[in-house]
Amino acid sequence: MTKAQAATADVFLTALKALPRAERDAVLVRIARDKAFARDILDLALIAKRRGEPARPFREYLSQRTGR
């Protein structure tokens, strides 16, 4: 993430946190109901959760997945 991207994210997060709870919830519900945003959020959460796991070669993953 670039410094500009981080700064923009901080501005949006600060604004979201500053909203009254009902308005903040309304924004979050709309994001969650948007299929593309919801998929992105789930992907990002999974990446963050698994960030500390060791990496493995893609071909190894494929061989385990396909059983070859």
Express each pLDDT in 14-67 by its tens digit.
999 999 999 999 999 999 999 999 999 999 999 999 999 999 899 998 888 876
- What's the whole-model pTM score? 0.62
Domain around 47 = 3-66
26 vs 21: CA distance, rounded Å? 8
Q: Rounded to whole angstroms, how far apart are CA atoms 61 and 31? A: 32
What is the tally of structural domains in the chain? Answer: 1
